[in-house]
Chains A and B, each alone.
Chain A
Amino acid sequence: MTGLVSFFRRLEGPQTVGRGPAFWSLFAVVLAAALAYPLFSDGYTVGNTVYFFVWVFIALSLCVIWGYGGSLSFGQTAFFGIAGYGYGVLTLNFGSAYGFTLVALVAAVAIAALFAVLLGYFMFFGRIAGVFLGIVTLAVTLMLERFMAQTAGPEWHIGSARLNGFNGMSAMPPLTIPWPGEPIVLFADVGLYYLVLGLLVLVYLALRILMNSSFGNVIVAIRENPERAEMLGYDIRKYQLITFVIGAALAGLSGVLYTVWGQYITPSSMSMTAAALPLIWVAVGGRSDLTSTVIGTLVVLAAFQALTIYGSQYALVFMGVLLVLTVLIAPNGLVLGVMNWLGRLATRFTQKAG
């Protein structure tokens, strides 16, 4: 029991909105609903929901790097693409037997993280900060997009995997769990849904613990005042690099899951539009809070998809308007604003009752 109490205590702190029995009861209800949802829905709709969930990881990566760490990375899609292509190359070469797709998932995420170590080292140890960090990361992702787009010829291949230029790679095997008798293939419906939901809950809780730990304290301290943080004896470059790599791994996870979900990956996943959209989800939700980022991303994505169906030409314009409105009305995020307002309301209510 005390173990459970101390576990919940580590999940809560000044860095995350939502605490106490009321919040965690609500969390349990939402989780239970998410677990039961495939029972009341069809495979296609569930698969569509998986698509939404997949993007939450890249949103969380921006939340960590930008919202908590204060470094605006415009190139999270670079890691998304690298991991997506990485999974494709690995599985098209080595197949899916013996649970290799799971190995490929981990390896692809690791490749993206390794790339972030290299890029991050030059940026943070070279003291690149502020808007320049955004420019460098955006340049990297656009460069990767351009590069992959010109790999159409048959000479562009890694092993037996053709890169296929602008059309991208496809037909990589879905995630397969080895099982005695028949291996379990996670197609983009109920099977993949539970895996992605499980990963989402795991990542969300782990990030809550990380951000409320002493490491998280240093990360937000660097956001608030890097000079002061360094003059408290913290090697801020090291902390920034670690945060960047964690973010890259999350964006990479998003990329792999996206590739697994649709069984394709194209260079446009690293394009300008692809790079800008996660910024909007996170800014609208509330970049400095994990919960707000998750809710904001899901809501904006659902709205975006509805708009694409009913008026595709306006969907991107609407996204731009939404961003402008957020910056003007609630610069810290609409969802975070509402959550803080609810929090204040609850406090006032309990004070009156008490």
Chain B
Amino acid sequence: MSLLELRELNKHFGGLHVTNGVNLTLEPGEIHCLIGPNGAGKSTLFRLILGEHHPGSGDILFAGENITALKSFARIHRGLSVKFQVPGVFKGLSVRQNLEIALQSRHRGAGLEAEIGRLLTFLGLESEQTQTAGNLSHGQKQWLEIGMAISLKPRLLLLDEPTAGMSPEETHMTGEMVQRLNADGMTVLAIEHDMAFVRQVARRVTVLHLGQVFAQGSIEEIVANERVAAIYLGQAHA
């Protein structure tokens, strides 16, 4: 059974058709990247999957269950988790408290302390744990939020531009982080512009354009696809 299945998903904002009959299937254990020019509807697709937007028509199936009508928090309980495009950390709270809030519903007491410590090490944020999250560098905020997202032990992790604003070294480290999570059995769907990151992690790539699935395949196939190159240069209709 596939882990996530989007069937003929449609979303309109007034006259704007932002998601246009999208079909997408994710198998358990894969790392799937979603690329496409600005305004292709990538983030909207994430919001549909998370229940922040509701589709005009179409279905969202998660592990075989139709979750189209579920509230966001209930989808999280089913095993979804997300890192937003703009890092959504709790800016006024310490790094440690951010992780505590993410972890406290699954762990208590000494177990909670141990889990926070383990995550801080995984994220490389041990020395920043008492800092206010709002004072972290952009890359560290991204990592902290990834840490909060994975603390829920999700079956499917959604990453919206996890490496935006990161240096090439940080991007590579993030790629390794994602690969380690995947090796532990986490399925990942990532929106990403950085092709180095996509090459590093993705097994399958879907190109979204004007709200539709434009192309799909391995990274080599996508790179070799002239029509994909054309839409990035704004010549899709040429």
Contacts and interface: CB of A to CB of B under 8 A. Distances in A.
* A, B bound: yes
Interface of A: 14, 214, 217-218, 220-221, 223-225, 227-236
B77 A231 contact: no
Q: In which size bucket is the chain B interface?
A: 20 to 34
B100 A225 contact: no
Given A214-B104, A232-B148, A225 B90 contact: yes
Q: Secondary structure of the A side of the interface?
A: helix
A305 B91 CA distance: 39
Contacts of B145: 228
15 contacts: A14-B93, A14-B94, A217-B100, A220-B92, A221-B90, A224-B90, A224-B93, A225-B90, A227-B52, A228-B90, A231-B50, A231-B76, A231-B82, A231-B84, A231-B149
Contact of B88 (A220, A227, A235): A227
Interface string B90-126: 1111100100111011000000000000000000000
Interface string B148-171: 110010000000000000000000
A93 B91 CA distance: 52
Nearest to B100: A217
Contacts, number: 63
Interface string B40-75: 000000000010100000000000000000011100
A236 B89 CA distance: 16
A144 B102 CA distance: 41
- Among all A-B residue pairs, the 10 with the closest Cβ atoms: A224-B90, A233-B76, A228-B88, A214-B104, A221-B101, A235-B73, A217-B101, A230-B72, A233-B73, A232-B102
Contact of A220 (B89, B90, B149): B90
Q: Secondary structure of the B side of the interface?
A: mixed
Interface of B: 50, 52, 71-73, 76-77, 81-82, 84, 88-94, 97, 100-102, 104-105, 145, 148-149, 152
Contacts of A221: 90, 93, 101
A233 B101 CA distance: 11
A220 B82 CA distance: 20
Contacts of A236: 73
A234 B71 CA distance: 11
Contacts of A231: 50, 72-73, 76, 81-82, 84, 88, 149
A138 to B, nearest CB: 26
B79 to A, nearest CB: 10
